[in-house]
Structure 1
Amino acid sequence: MAGSENQKFCLQEVLDSFQLCLSPNKEVYLEHYIAGWRGLVKFLNSLGSVFGFISKDAVSKIQILVNFLNSENGSQYATVQSMVKFELDNKLVDVDKKGICPESGCRTLLRLHRALRWLELFLERLRTSKEDDKTSVMCREAYNESLAQHHPWVVRKAAGMAFFALPGRPTFFEVMNVGPPEQVVAILGKAVPLISEVYLITEELYLKHNLLDLP
């Protein structure tokens, strides 16, 4: 899926967004989380339609969260922590799995959260990979350790096929748009730990409030 929007992707913007993601007391700013995800979607799209099944879903989830941020309750969605508190206090989350509030902020973010783990694992494998390592293997391993467990068999099958079509490591590094391979590795070395920290803070928050398996 080529286009001016996708060509502008630069790994630096993902790093910048995730650097701004955490408040001094380690709350996750939703606005910067969304900005980080917008960058990751550009990254996925710049590799062609292979990741369409992830990026299309991410785009729709981003839009739902943006709508919450722009709503009259927008201030309650400033951080992931404030969102969780607000939605739980006001019974806006399907904690009892009754099929209510299918687009709550908590459920919506959970879908992005799961996909973020996959990207974190994949980007870390890219960072530590050697020149002739296969991106399809790295991507499949990362997927199997994260998102696969939340996907039905049909999606897992389609994902497996898609990973075979992935371009080689040099193409991935080129798409990052930050210079030679060693520069890509250096920026990934800063970005991946930040993504990991944001992921872990969110994971612990969701675990504490029993939100990790919202339907």
Structure 2
Amino acid sequence: MVLLRQKLLPRYLLLSCILALLLLISSFWRPQGERPDCGSAGRPCSTFHIQTSKPPLLEPWLEPGGGSALIKECPGQSFQAWRLLKYLKSSMAEDGDILLEWYLQGWDQLLEFMESLGTMVSFFSQKVREKTSLIRELSLRNSMKVQGKTSDRPTPPAFGLKDGTYRSVQSMVKAELNAGVVNFYHRTDSGCRTLLRLHRSLLWLKLMLEGLSEGPDADGRYKTPGELSRDAYMVALAPHHPWLLRQAAEVVFLALPDRKYFLQLVCVQKQEEATPVLRVIIHALTQVHRRTQQILEEHGMLELP
């Protein structure tokens, strides 16, 4: 085992050196060629469907201050699980839609979580931050266009997301389809395409947290966060990444902190305490992911290039 690690180490060191270059490459990567015409309305022939399990039978929205609250305020850290839950709950409209202002604020908290894991995780967090910024920029641009305004003033906190075209996932999808900015065969910087990438990353985080909430295997061994992240990545993101990025992702998994560090991020010390807390977070992520999945699937958008 030691000899194997010694042989693999130079490979990972090399990959880490070119990580920044790969991030740049990924920004310009495009799928090559066109897919053959199939069906009507320019829709692709098939879509990738993600099976989602039923949520656990737990009270889903526990916040600090309640008598039975599981989610605690964690002093001295940027990521706060209770705040993430608040934003996820707020994003879920009564009609089954997802409100983008709260959805993106939820991602702001998830970015705090990711970036607290170390600089190597910037491999993922940098790309996610670019995507949340793009949707906000598109929303602001559209809002100012509707109002006939042009201004260099600082961007307002709501980014035009409180009402209008980018108020929700449904309204954004409808507007962008009508405007013809969504292309099913070539990349465009549409809000729909950008949301799909965030949607896949949300699945990656959800699957990783599900692994952290589970007990040990038959031998009493817990999987490491690196192993859990790799397993989740292979399901949620690897099928959509080129080979070079998949190899570079291995460096990130090696650099992740241990399980105890992850537990401290949700203000617990033991696995027994962490499991119910993580299940509440997983439940919230599952609800938001399921709704987004349904909307994108209804419009044939699960394979936007």
The TM-score normalised by the length of structure 2 is 0.64
Relative to 1, partners in 2 of residues 1:186 and 1:66: Cα closer, same or farther, differing over 3 Å? same
Partner of 1:10: 80
Higher helix share: 1
Partner of 2:25: none
Partner of 1:53: 123
Spell out, residue by residue over 1:124-175, the C-alpha distance to the aligned partner (whole angstroms, 9 max, x if none): 1111244843111111111111111011111111111220221110011112
8 Å CA contact 2:79, 2:109 repeated in 1: yes
Partner of 2:175: 86
Partner of 1:3: none
Distance 2:120 2:85 in 1: 23
Determine whether 1:107 maps to 2:193.
Answer: yes
Q: Which residues in structure 2 correspond to 1:23-42 (within 5 Å)?
A: 23-42=93-112
Distance 2:276 2:140 in 1: 36
Spell out, residue by residue over 1:64-107, the C-alpha distance to the aligned partner (whole angstroms, 9 max, x if none): 11123323154111110111011111112112x244xx211001
**What's the secondary structure of 2:85's corresponding residue?**
helix
Relative to 1, partners in 2 of residues 1:98 and 1:171: Cα closer, same or farther, differing over 3 Å? closer
Partner of 1:214: 304
Distance 1:98 1:119 in 2: 27
Distance 2:199 2:250 in 1: 21
The TM-score normalised by the length of structure 1 is 0.89
Query: Any gaps of 5 or more consecutive residues in structure 1?
Result: 1-5
Relative to 1, partners in 2 of residues 1:183 and 1:39: Cα closer, same or farther, differing over 3 Å? farther
Alignment equivalent of 1:198, drawn from 262, 269, 288: 288
Partner of 2:214: 128
Runs of 4 or more consecutive aligned structure 1 residues displaced over 2 Å after TM superposition: 68-71, 129-133, 178-187
**What's the secondary structure of 1:77's corresponding residue?**
coil
8 Å CA contact 2:199, 2:289 repeated in 1: yes
Relative to 1, partners in 2 of residues 1:168 and 1:27: Cα closer, same or farther, differing over 3 Å? same
Distance 1:59 1:183 in 2: 31
Partner of 1:139: 229
Question: How many aligned positions are there?
Answer: 206
8 Å CA contact 2:260, 2:269 repeated in 1: no
Spell out, residue by residue over 1:156-215, the C-alpha distance to the aligned partner (whole angstroms, 9 max, x if none): 111112202211100111123x34445543332112122112112211211221111111
RMSD: 1.8
Query: Any gaps of 5 or more consecutive residues in structure 2?
Result: 1-75, 147-159
Distance 1:214 1:7 in 2: 36
- Higher radius of gyration, 1 or 2: 2
Amino acid in the other structure paired with 1:13: R
Distance 1:22 1:169 in 2: 31
Partner of 1:175: 265
Amino acid in the other structure paired with 1:114: R
Partner of 2:62: none
8 Å CA contact 2:123, 2:252 repeated in 1: no
